[in-house]
A and B are shown apart, each in its own frame.
Chain A
Amino acid sequence: MDDQADEDFRAFMHGRWQAMVRLAYALTGDRGHAEDLAQTAFARAYASWRRVSRAGNPESYVRQIVINENRKRFRKRRVAEHLTDRLPDRGGAGGGVGEHDDRAVLMAVLASLGPRQRAVVVLRYLLDMTEAETASALGCSVGTVKSQASRALVRLRQSAALLDGGRQ
């Protein structure tokens, strides 16, 4: 690849790295996995950078890879999730104490959802995607997105930790 395209990619990755790690973290619940996932997604985008940049929305391309790779992770390992009472990721993150508590509570609640429900919540409410966009990204129907979102919100509402003040 020529220098110009490399420079373009470098600038893009510097600009969108944090956002992709956040998305991957919300999906996986593990910072190490999240950074690996984001790096893989950027590497795959680099491998096809000419085509990706011509398409005009490299961010969407990388985001889709993160979502797909996360789905594959579950498919390969069948049930790779370990539901736990321990709040994950206790140290080192950015943000204040309140934000960290909120994140830990949220991660615990998200971990209690199934992979698809969690993905629906993250795409619909963290990335603010429409139901149609979420369905397209997850390869399912709009009806499935609606029902999964509805069930996930019921679960989240039932969670006293989240809705009765996770920071108490």
Chain B
Amino acid sequence: MSTDDEIDVRQRLDRAFGTLTAHPAPVEQTIKQGGQMRSRRRKAALAGLAVVAAVAVAVPFTLLGRAPARPHLLARQHVVTVHPAAARQARKEGLIAWGSVDGEFWQLRVNNPDSAGLQCVLGMLVNAKCGNGLKLSGHEPAKLGKFYQATRHGRVTFVYGPVSVDVTYVKVSLTTGTVLTLHPVPVEGVRQVGFAAPRGTIGRVTAYSRRGVLATLKIVVWSP
């Protein structure tokens, strides 16, 4: 076995499968199928619980207290989620974070291998050099780090930036009431956070250490 053989196999596999096109993703059907799997699991769990409850009948007080009233859910205009990259993806692919904005998948990654800049992915759109390094206006406490705005993809703004070693997590409050929690991910030796949000909804960013609030930054997003 030689390295040449390995490289040859890699190239052939990439070429052969890289262009394969599948049918459109059957998302709704999959959700239905997944929901059925979950309800089967729940039924099994409930059956187990029923056995436990039957045993607990002899106990004079019920094991379960009264459940607290569920808070009223405010209607939100936008649905935004963010997840930190797993360590392997951060290390190998330069991925900082991923999530969705109003149902569109997004990713923020540092371009590998040359680190030429930031790559923003939104749905099927890939912007290979979206990190314009535009520093966001606002007070920037040294402890928090610096935040930059990446080129916007239409109605979505990407924000990223390095944070200091003291920062364990960062909370981003959107004007819609949503609060995103960002966990720093080491990418190319720098602890970074990143997120995407609908244009004009980014409000305040607060960094937390293990002991509590480190710093708060009110972000003013540049708009042309």
CB distance from A31 to the nearest CB of B (A): 8
29 A-B pairs within 8 Å (CB atoms) are namely A7-B103, A8-B100, A10-B31, A11-B100, A11-B104, A11-B123, A12-B105, A13-B30, A14-B25, A14-B27, A15-B121, A18-B21, A21-B22, A25-B20, A38-B22, A39-B26, A43-B33, A46-B30, A46-B37, A53-B83, A59-B89, A103-B17, A125-B10, A126-B13, A126-B14, A133-B88, A153-B1, A153-B5, A163-B5
CB distance from A108 to the nearest CB of B (A): 11
Given contacts A8-B81, A11-B100, 15 further A-B contacts (CB under 8 A): A1-B35, A1-B38, A8-B99, A9-B31, A10-B31, A11-B103, A14-B123, A17-B24, A26-B17, A39-B33, A44-B34, A46-B33, A47-B38, A57-B89, A128-B10
B35 contact from A10, A26, A46, A154, Cβ within 8 A: A46
Bound CA span A49–B86, Å? 16
Within 8 A of A (CB), among B184-222: none
Are the CB atoms of A22 and B17 closer together than 8 Å? Answer: yes
Name the B residues within 8 Å of A142 (CB-CB): none
Name the residue on A nearest B38 (C-beta): A47
Within 8 A of A (CB), among B81-105: 81, 83-86, 88-89, 99-100, 102-105
Are the CB atoms of A15 and B86 closer together than 8 Å? Answer: no
Bound CA span A83–B126, Å? 40
The answer, yes or no, to whether B23 is at the interface (CB within 8 Å) is yes
Are the CB atoms of A125 and B20 closer together than 8 Å? Answer: no
Contact with A along B1-24 (1 / 0, CB 8 A): 100011011101111111111111
B9 contact from A59, A94, A96, A153, Cβ within 8 A: A153
Bound CA span A44–B21, Å? 23
Name the A residues within 8 Å of B34 (CB-CB): 42-47, 49
Name the A residues within 8 Å of B83 (CB-CB): 53, 56
Bound CA span A55–B85, Å? 10
In the complex where A26-B17, A96-B19, A150-B1 touch, is A166 in contact with B37 (Cβ < 8 A)? no
Residues of A within 8 A of B (CB): 1, 3-4, 6-15, 17-18, 21-22, 25-26, 31, 34-35, 38-40, 42-49, 53, 55-57, 59-60, 93-96, 99, 102-103, 106-107, 121-122, 125-126, 128, 133, 149-150, 153-154, 156-157, 162-163, 166
- Tally of B interface residues using CB under 8 Å: 49
Name the residue on A nearest B19 (C-beta): A95
Are the CB atoms of A15 and B105 closer together than 8 Å? Answer: yes
Sort A-B residue pairs by CB-CB distance and give the 5 closest, nearest first.
A46-B34, A94-B21, A95-B19, A57-B86, A17-B25
Are the CB atoms of B105 and A21 closer together than 8 Å? Answer: no
Name the B residues within 8 Å of A21 (CB-CB): 20, 22
Are the CB atoms of B105 and A14 closer together than 8 Å? Answer: yes
Name the A residues within 8 Å of B129 (CB-CB): none
Bound CA span A166–B25, Å? 31
CB distance from B90 to the nearest CB of A (A): 10
Are the CB atoms of B6 and A125 closer together than 8 Å? Answer: yes
Are the CB atoms of B9 and A125 closer together than 8 Å? Answer: yes
Bound CA span A107–B20, Å? 13
In the complex where A17-B25, A56-B86, A93-B20 touch, is A47 in contact with B10 (Cβ < 8 A)? no
A60 contact from B12, B14, B41, B86, Cβ within 8 A: B86
Name the B residues within 8 Å of A106 (CB-CB): 12-13, 16
